[in-house]
Amino acid sequence: MFKSYLQLRDACPVCGADFKSADAGDGPAVFVILIVGAIVAPLLLILQRLLPDIVALVITLVATVVLCLAFLPPFKATLFALQWKHKAREATHEDVE
């Protein structure tokens, strides 16, 4: 489905479906930020009690970056699949009237 890390292919290599109009927007990033924040914030609070502050900060910063990079592709794929399944598209003026 992906041509590169987060860039979708123009078409499905199996069935030839056109993916050019697909756009998950900022949705995947929002979900990833909320989930990673819920994981990393308590981790930081726990580590600050056990380790020096700078060590706790470095560990949580690394964990934040790794988790964000790991979670973005599956969340983008999931939101794209939901958009594709439900034929969601951007609203136009014709839809409002």
Dihedral of CA 84/85/91/92: which sign? positive
| pLDDT beyond 80 at 22 | no
> What integer pLDDT is reported at residue 91 of this predicted model?
63
Q: Domain ranges in the chain?
A: 39-85
Q: What is the pTM of this model?
A: 0.77
Q: Which of 19-23, 26-30, 36-40, 59-63 has the lowest mean pLDDT?
A: 19-23
DSSP state of 72: H
